Homo-oligomer: A and B are copies of this chain.
């Protein structure tokens, strides 16, 4: 894969960063951009209101770093209707950043802003991969099970079985290329391992999964996020969203609980390190962001509450997605799934 950019050296992967998106933007997004440019083989196209972004950049030592500011106007807020907002704010940071990817000026897009707006923008501007009507968020979300991929992590709250099957196929590509899992096993999240257990959605999807070319191992349960029974666990975005936020809340509460329990029993600095690790293993997406599966381009959506470290983490995920050519892998896999579908009676 040849990578070129106007300003940046040829072998750097070009990341368009929505600098205005996120609870702590633009201060922390800019910090993350600088950190990434300093430590990773990437060049940054930092998209945002020129004045504020340049003011933030001026606080950092950017000498010799491949960082370019791309001006945009305003941002899409968390509570705006994504599609409507994109129409009314075509010059917003996320829209401009997505167009950079579409036009080949960037290799990947990273945003900590409204998940809905980033997804809608990616779908409308980049287009979805063949056979899919909507993309999804996927990836590992548990530090305690870092090789278990979950799709959908929260984007599509009502899913038809065929959509779940497409998500599963993309989850397999991610598990294989990004995590190095050979022939990933796919499990459908349900209320029991038995074929007959599950809600209507799962039971309908189950037949379709069995007839697909995927390495389907049947139904898995809540505890199977930890048992290694499947490499790719498939659920709709409602369940995925609840689980991800539940884990986040549990991690924070558990960290506090453990701090109390161990207070005075470990040296203070060891206790701090210990508590941070407990928090971290329950907050993987905060560290690495969540790749968007199913659009024509590499897009990573970071946690809204990301600080600079997490922004740099999401940029690193985006860089790896480009290097591993994940989008192309997913396109091929979805085409295979579509071409197999008619051959099953």
Contact B266 A245 (CB under 8 A): no
Instruction: Pick the interface stretch among A53-61, A104-112, A248-256.
Output: A248-256
Could you say which residues of chain B place their CB within 8 Å of the CB of A158? 199-200
Contact B258 A265 (CB under 8 A): no
Contact A249 B222 (CB under 8 A): yes
User: Residue-by-residue, is A278-292 near B (CB-CB < 8 Å gives 1, otherwise 0)?
Assistant: 100100000000000
Copies in the complex: 2
Contact A225 B238 (CB under 8 A): no
Selected contact of A189 from candidates B202, B242, B261, B277, CB within 8 Å: B242
When chains A and B are docked, how far (Å) is the Cα of A242 from the Cα of B224? 10
When chains A and B are docked, how far (Å) is the Cα of A242 from the Cα of B238? 12
Contact B241 A226 (CB under 8 A): no
When chains A and B are docked, how far (Å) is the Cα of A266 from the Cα of B222? 31
Asked if A79 is at the interface of the complex by the 8 Å CB criterion, the answer is yes
When chains A and B are docked, how far (Å) is the Cα of A200 from the Cα of B246? 21
User: Residue-by-residue, is A186-205 near B (CB-CB < 8 Å gives 1, otherwise 0)?
Assistant: 00011100100011101000
When chains A and B are docked, how far (Å) is the Cα of A249 from the Cα of B244? 15
Contact A243 B246 (CB under 8 A): yes
Range of interface residues on chain A?
35 or more
When chains A and B are docked, how far (Å) is the Cα of A79 from the Cα of B235? 24
Contact A281 B257 (CB under 8 A): yes
When chains A and B are docked, how far (Å) is the Cα of A245 from the Cα of B233? 15
When chains A and B are docked, how far (Å) is the Cα of A189 from the Cα of B246? 11
User: Residue-by-residue, is A152-170 near B (CB-CB < 8 Å gives 1, otherwise 0)?
Assistant: 0010011000000000000
Asked if A178 is at the interface of the complex by the 8 Å CB criterion, the answer is no
Could you say which residues of chain B place their CB within 8 Å of the CB of A246? 222-223, 225, 243, 246
When chains A and B are docked, how far (Å) is the Cα of A296 from the Cα of B269? 56
User: Residue-by-residue, is A259-285 near B (CB-CB < 8 Å gives 1, otherwise 0)?
Assistant: 001100110001000100110010000
Asked if A227 is at the interface of the complex by the 8 Å CB criterion, the answer is yes
Contact B222 A245 (CB under 8 A): yes
Selected contact of A223 from candidates B222, B245, B278, CB within 8 Å: B245
Known: A238-B191, A242-B189, A261-B274. A247 touches B249 (CB 8 A): no
Could you say which residues of chain B place their CB within 8 Å of the CB of A223? 245-246, 248-249, 252
Contact A245 B221 (CB under 8 A): yes
A189-B242, A222-B245, A235-B242 known; 11 new pairs, CB 8 Å cut-off, are A79-B194, A144-B253, A157-B191, A191-B242, A199-B238, A221-B242, A223-B249, A239-B239, A247-B250, A261-B274, A261-B277
The list of the 5 closest CB pairs from A to B, nearest first, reads A222-B245, A223-B249, A222-B246, A157-B199, A226-B249
Instruction: Pull 28 A–B residue pairs with CB atoms less than 8 Å apart, ordered by A.
Output: A142-B250, A144-B250, A144-B254, A144-B257, A154-B191, A157-B199, A190-B238, A191-B237, A199-B236, A221-B241, A221-B245, A222-B244, A222-B246, A222-B248, A223-B245, A223-B248, A223-B252, A224-B249, A225-B249, A226-B250, A226-B252, A226-B253, A239-B239, A239-B242, A246-B246, A254-B254, A254-B278, A254-B281
